[in-house]
Amino acid sequence: MKKISLLGATGSIGRQTLDVIRQHHEEFSLAAFSAGRNIEETRKIIKDFQPELVSVELREDAVKLKAEFPSVKMMHGEEGLVETAVFQAADILVNAVLGSVGLHPTLQAIEAGKKIAIANKETLVTAGHLVMAAAKKHGVELLPVDSEHSAIFQCLQGEKEKNIDRLVLTASGGSFRDRTRAELKNVTVQEALNHPNWSMGAKITIDSATMMNKGLEVIEAHWLFHLPYDQIDVILHRESIIHSMVEFQDSSVIAQLGTPDMRVPIQYALTYPDRLSLPDAKRLNLLEVGKLHFQPVDQERFRMLALAYEAGKSGGTLPTVLNAANEAAVAAFLDGKITFLQIDELVERALEKHQSSPEPDLETIQQTDKETREFVRSLL
Ligand code: NDP
Ligand code: MG
């Protein structure tokens, strides 16, 4: 029996992780989890999975839940996230919290020697150099959950890093892939949230529409697979059937395919190097699919992808600024405070204004993250 601790249990990845645990209750159990403010859902999860430790965002919610479930250890806030991440009885941490709030708990889990299935890409973007160095130092495995990175990880089984020529990340193009930039002027939040292939949390769905998601994923791939940016490419592939590919020195290309279902990469991270059945996953029928399409990405149209490559290549605190500005701008868009095209503008302005520091430590990163969010809010 593998015991799991889960950050972000009430989210899109969190709920799908719980589904995987439920389907394999003889293999997995939920030892600890964190949620944000969705207390109704938190109650249900406690009843269904009977974990030992639960953490929520707010103190008053933790107090309320403690009265309802006296035998469960109840925590809250940043400290609760960290306690969940390092929970001693857990064999593996699934980090599916949203945003750079996941950085500190991830570093603490690494120090505690926890194996980590990482969905929380913002953590790798904001401080990839710190996370990877800590993982190396403590001999901790980081198993990718993001579908593209899981695909690459699967393609690399039995392969040597030195033989890789390039990674090709596929991108669906998001909700507005068939519109010109001019046609994006008056799009609504509802339209932006309508992703053609994947049902995901609100923030990542907006990131897909701006293509910042692919930009974050390029930086994530750079860290997870130790490759320079000029060996990481992106192509548009509207069906999201090929989840990503690796091209090797001998010109051979290995791809991983499947119908879009995040439970597959989540489960693979939990069972690696083994696999388990997933009875209700829809099997890929290529005869039914018929055709797969590929297109280059227009970097003018998808400005955010170009910005992410630039920030990633420059390094220092620029990736932190890229991520924090984007988190703040997307939140403002979801709140109806700015238009869709203003997301790019705000991120660009934050990057332009910033004086990057090389090799930032944790304190510098946290300070940069905070200042960037304040700067973006000051522009609203
Ligand atoms: P959601 O918005 O659906 O879920 C986010 C989770 O984090 C919720 O449980 C939420 O709690 C919790 N949370 C948010 N803010 C805080 C906070 N300040 N303190 C504590 N908990 C908090 O996001 P997704 O599941 O879509 O994404 C999670 C991560 O996985 C992201 O990094 C995303 O990029 C990545 N990812 C997601 C994919 C997907 O298919 N959804 C695919 C690949 C990667 P609550 O709701 O209770 O407030
Ligand atoms: Mg992805």
Q: How confident is the model over 227-277, as pLDDT tens digits?
A: 999 999 999 999 999 999 999 999 999 999 999 999 999 999 999 999 999
Tell me: the pLDDT tens digits for 54-83?
999 999 999 999 999 999 999 999 999 999
Report the alpha-carbon distance of residue 34 to residue 55 in Å, rounded.
4
Classify residue 220: in a domain, yes or no. yes
Closest CA to 98 of 371, 366, 327: 327
Which residue among 144, 170, 188 closes a domain?
144
Position 235 scores a pLDDT of: 98
Query: Ligand 2 centroid to 148 CA: how many Å?
Result: 5
The residue whose C-alpha atom lies closest to atom 8 belonging to ligand 1 is: 11
Near ion ligand 2, which residues have CB within 5 Å? Answer: 146-148
Q: Are residues 83 and 41 in the same domain?
A: yes
Ligand 1 pocket check for 175: Cβ under 6 Å: no
Say whether both 125 and 167 belong to one domain: no
Q: Is residue 360 part of a domain?
A: no
The band of 34, judged by pLDDT with boundaries at 50, 70 and 90, is very high
Range of the domain at 304: 160-260+287-314
CA–CA dist 166, 249 (Å, integer): 9
* This model's pTM is above 0.95: yes
When pLDDT is averaged across residues 345-354 and rounded to a whole number, the result is 98
Task: Give the C-alpha separation, 19 to 21, whole Å.
Answer: 5
The answer on 45 and 191 residing in a single domain is no
Q: What's the CA gap between 111 and 207, in Å, rounded?
A: 30
Q: Report whether residue 146 contacts ligand 1, using a CB cutoff of 6 Å.
A: yes
pLDDT band at 116 (very low <50, low <70, confident <90, very high): very high
**Sequence-ordered list of residues with C-beta below 8 angstroms from that of 108, at least 6 positions apart, any chain:** 82, 85, 86
CA distances from 247 to 37, 113, 160, 221, 254 (A): 43, 32, 12, 14, 7
**Ligand 1 touching residue 10 (CB < 6 A):** yes
**Is the distance from CB of 377 to CB of 331 less than 8 angstroms?**
no
In this predicted structure, what is the pLDDT of residue 312?
Answer: 98
Structure tokens at 312: 């990633």
**Averaged pLDDT, 177-184:** 94
Q: Are residues 63 and 91 in the same domain?
A: yes
Is 177 assigned to a binding site? Answer: no
Our answer on whether the CB atom of 207 is closer than 6 Å to any ligand 1 atom is no
Is the CB of residue 118 less than 8 Å from the CB of residue 142? yes
The answer to whether residue 21 sits within a structural domain is: yes
Q: Looking at the structure, tell me whether residues 64 and 111 fall in a common domain.
A: yes
Does 64 share its domain with 193? no
Total of domains in the chain: 2
Residue 84: which pLDDT band, with cuts at 50, 70 and 90? very high
Boundary-marking domain end, from 112, 144, 176: 144
Region 88-104 average pLDDT: 98
> By C-alpha distance, which of 97, 127, 342 is closest to 203?
97
| CATH code of 111's domain | 3.40.50.720
Cβ atoms within 10 Å, residue 126 = 28
Instruction: Give a yes or no: residue 126 inside a domain.
Output: yes
Q: Was 122 annotated as part of a binding site?
A: yes
Place of tokens 């909700």: 175
CA of 57 to the centre of ligand 1 (A): 13
Flag whether 320 is in a domain. no
Question: Tokens for 151?
Answer: 């695909």
Q: What is the pLDDT of residue 33?
A: 99
Residue 212 maps to a domain: yes
User: Do 10 and 95 reside in the same domain of the chain?
Assistant: yes
State whether the beta carbon of 96 lies less than 6 angstroms from ligand 1. yes
pLDDT of residue 17: 98
